[in-house]
Structure 1
Amino acid sequence: MGNLLLHLGRTLDELDPPRWGDPADGATRLVRKVHGLRSVPLGDLRPADLLSLVTQQVALPFVLPLDVRLPADEPLLDAYFHEGDLLLATVSVPAGAWAALPELEARLRAVIAELPGAAVDELPRGGAEALAQFAGKA
């Protein structure tokens, strides 16, 4: 993928061909949102946008580098639903998505290792287990 900073002005439709057309008539709000996000420059994506893209597993090689920097700075960031939602979505992507991003995976594991136990206990049901599984402790 190269240096992510070089891509911040580009869109997922440009970086992750083929371009997606308009969503089908009657598409859900989420599908319409994700289609729209593919035409937003990477540097303009907000935490809630990244959450949508990660949970829908869209263009992960381009989205994960943007996504991981947020929990690295603020691990329990509330992107849209609850504290830690972006972190939990990130650790839930398929293991294969990390194959080309081992440094990012290691960085995220280090962030998780530094989380206070009390904060982890405050995550929604299954959150602590998801973090432990990603970190290789489960």
Structure 2
Amino acid sequence: MDLSKSIEQLESAVWEYNPYPSNVVQREQRLRKLALESLSIDDLRFLIGQEIGLPYVLPLAFEHLAENPAAGGQMYPGDLLDSVLSVRAAFWEEQADLDRELIDLIPSVESLLELLRDEILPALRERAS
């Protein structure tokens, strides 16, 4: 996948400009025109939540999540994974390769949970006592 291209270029589909004064509509239109390599974690979270360009943005999200399952945009830690998990089931059924990549994240998520349970939470409890 060419990360220098935008979703519009990769889909060969330019959306007609929508002047509706909604932050969501305006952000959707703007992000579809950006090169994939310039999308932030929050941009990925947003696009995934809107189910825009999923075949292109999910692999980028998986890269971030493999490094840090709690990767977050501007909402809260873990919001990227939360948005991925909210994608409709029919999409995953149609995209077996991406579904496999999602499942491949399980060890990273388990490692984070172990770190929280075995080290971070006990350290916090000790500090509180």
Q: Does TM-score exceed 0.5, indicating one fold?
A: yes
Q: Is the 8 A contact 2:48 2:54 kept in 1?
A: yes
Q: Give the whole-Å Cα distance in 2 for the aligned partners of 1:77 and 1:47.
A: 8
Q: Give the whole-Å Cα distance in 2 for the aligned partners of 1:53 and 1:36.
A: 11
Q: Is the 8 A contact 1:47 1:79 kept in 2?
A: yes
Q: Secondary structure at the match of 1:116?
A: helix
Q: Give the whole-Å Cα distance in 2 for the aligned partners of 1:76 and 1:113.
A: 11
**2:64 is aligned with 1:70:** yes
Answer with 66-75 or 100-109: which moved more.
Answer: 100-109
Aligned-residue sequence identity (percent) comes to 27
Matched residue, 2:52 = 58
Deviation at 1:91, TM superposition (A): 1.1
Structure richer in helix, relative to its length = 2
Deviation at 1:78, TM superposition (A): 2.2
Q: Out of 102, 105, 110, which is 1:108 matched to?
A: 105
Deviation at 1:65, TM superposition (A): 0.5
Matched residue, 2:35 = 41
Deviation at 1:73, TM superposition (A): 0.7
Matched residue, 2:6 = 11
* Count of aligned pairs: 114
Deviation at 1:82, TM superposition (A): 0.6
Structure 1 segments of 4+ aligned residues over 2 angstroms from their partners: 95-100, 108-115, 117-120
TM-score normalized with structure 2 length: 0.78
TM-score normalized with structure 1 length: 0.73
Mark the runs of 5 or more structure 2 residues left unpaired by the alignment. Answer: 118-129
Residues 22, 119 of structure 1: alpha-carbon distance in 2 compared, 3 angstrom cutoff: farther
Answer with 94-103 or 8-17: which moved more.
Answer: 94-103
Deviation at 1:70, TM superposition (A): 0.8
Question: Counterpart amino acid of 2:107?
Answer: A
Q: Quick check: which has more Rg, 1 or 2?
A: 2
Q: Out of 92, 101, 119, which is 2:86 matched to?
A: 92
Q: Secondary structure at the match of 1:57?
A: coil
